[in-house]
Amino acid sequence: MLTATAPGGPLLAASADPVAVVEAIDKIRARLADRRGSFHDPEFLLDLAERLAGEPVLAGDPAVRAFVEDCRDYGSEARLTRTKAFINLATGNTIFSLFDASYFRSLSLEYLRYRLLPADPALTLRYPSPTKPVVIEEATRGFDSRVVVALFPENHIDGIQTPEDSVFYFIDKFVERHFRLTRPLIREVMSPDSFPLLREAGERDAERASSWWVRLHEYHHRQGDMPIPEYLAAKSYKPLAGLEELRTDVSSMLACLNDARLPREDALLTYEYILAERLLRYAIEGIPRPNYDAVASQLLFNYLSEAGGLEFADGKLCVTPRMPEALTVFLGEIERIEAEIHREPVEQVRARLLDLTNRYTEFDEQYQDYRHIPFFAEVKQRLGV
């Protein structure tokens, strides 16, 4: 018997066959395709709750029950309190909710069962966060999209994130795109002596490095003078969102290089993995129109090239011995600006962060967007990825 306790009392029920649950929810979600504008309407949610409660295969599922109860109270609270409490408890490793995220448009009414990946004790002790690196076992169709590689608390219809809310990363998708995109890019554009550990890594190694990455990433979002989610609104503009992603990933890379309390081999593999993903894959995926990750890749590429962390030799990119120093100096520039938040208005600090971003990127005034790097556009075309 599955038992979970959430606000409003215990949820006592055994889950039905997950395949049958997914099939039933997929049928309901298909009818919601043209109803996204109603997702926040209490009357719509009441109707949805009754429809879910009336499905025999769904009525006994505790994840569905938590959501149904929230829908019935949404008119007074506009919060998915029970739903998120159930998810955070990780009872049954199940997620069920209604989602409305501008960058994950495939998501609506979704159900997912996952397998939580093991965590290195030294890593979780040194860098705690509510991160859950998982592998998808059963899921509704919204999760089929390659774009949906993570799930954040604010993606639910209530749009709320609290410090205790779980953040999910779908590591099977990280591994798939690494071998589909990043590994061919390494072979094509990098010198043979760059990324030596990563070149030899298999799928299990990539899975482990991905898990390390997302744990470090979420930990560092919550550190510094302008942490997330406290300064999420200040950093929501595309180039500043990209800079925040760089801040966390460069912090993570330096932790892997400098923290002697972490297992050395795994730490060095994770350093190479983060650098390759951030430097190469995001740059390719952001063509022809760069998203915030692609803007961040452009910024990192240009900064590291100028600082000597990257060099071209014999038509190939090389990671030089100066890379750790270049990353350290870069992070220091961001941190010095963000430290001014204790003395200056947020808008003034945002302007300084934007100046840093624009110094190493190219903004197209005509199209009011950032240009991609021609080098990566040519590589993308040549590889056909």
Question: Domain spans of the chain?
Answer: 3-165, 177-383
Mean pLDDT (the chain) is: 92
Among the ranges given (269-278, 319-328, 355-364), the one the predictor scored with the smallest mean pLDDT: 355-364
pLDDT score for 291: 82
What is the 3-class SS of 100-113, one letter each residue? CCCCCCCCCEEEEE
Is the pLDDT at 255 greater than 70? The verdict is yes
Give yes or no for a cis peptide into 56 (omega within 30° of 0).
Answer: no
What pLDDT score does 18 carry?
A: 87
Average pLDDT over residues 128-147: 96
Has residue 74 got a pLDDT over 80?
A: yes
Residue 5 is predicted with a pLDDT of: 45
Under 8 Å between Cβ of 208 and 197: no
CA distances from residue 200 to 54, 181, 193, 197 in whole angstroms, order as listed: 52, 16, 12, 6
How would DSSP label each residue in 315-375? TEEEE-TTHHHHHHHHHHHHHHHHGGGGTS-HHHHHHHHHHHHHHTS-EETTTTEEPPPHH
Angle at 351 between CA 345 and CA 352, to 5 degrees: 95
Q: pLDDT (tens digit, 9 = 90+) per residue, 161-192?
A: 888 999 999 999 999 999 999 999 999 999 99
Q: Is 156 helix (H, G, I), strand (E, B) or coil?
A: strand
| Res. 4 pLDDT band, cuts 50 70 90 | very low
Q: Label residue 363 by pLDDT band (50, 70, 90).
A: confident
Residue 304 has pLDDT above 70, yes or no: yes
Task: Reply yes or no on whether the pLDDT at 268 is more than 50.
Answer: yes
The predicted pLDDT at position 8 comes to 45
Beta bridge partners of 11: 4
* Closest-CA residue to 45 (of 17, 83, 86): 83
Please give the pLDDT value at position 248. 98
Rg (C-alpha) for the chain, rounded Å, is 22
pLDDT band at 287 (very low <50, low <70, confident <90, very high): low
Question: 3-state DSSP helix/strand/coil percent for the chain, to nearest 5?
Answer: 55, 15, 30
Q: Is the model's pLDDT at 317 over the cut of 90?
A: yes
| Peptide bond preceding 118 in cis form (omega within 30 of 0) | no
| 3-state secondary structure (DSSP) of residue 222 | coil
What pLDDT is stored for residue 286 in this prediction? 65
Give residue 10's pLDDT: 46
Model pLDDT, residue 365:
78
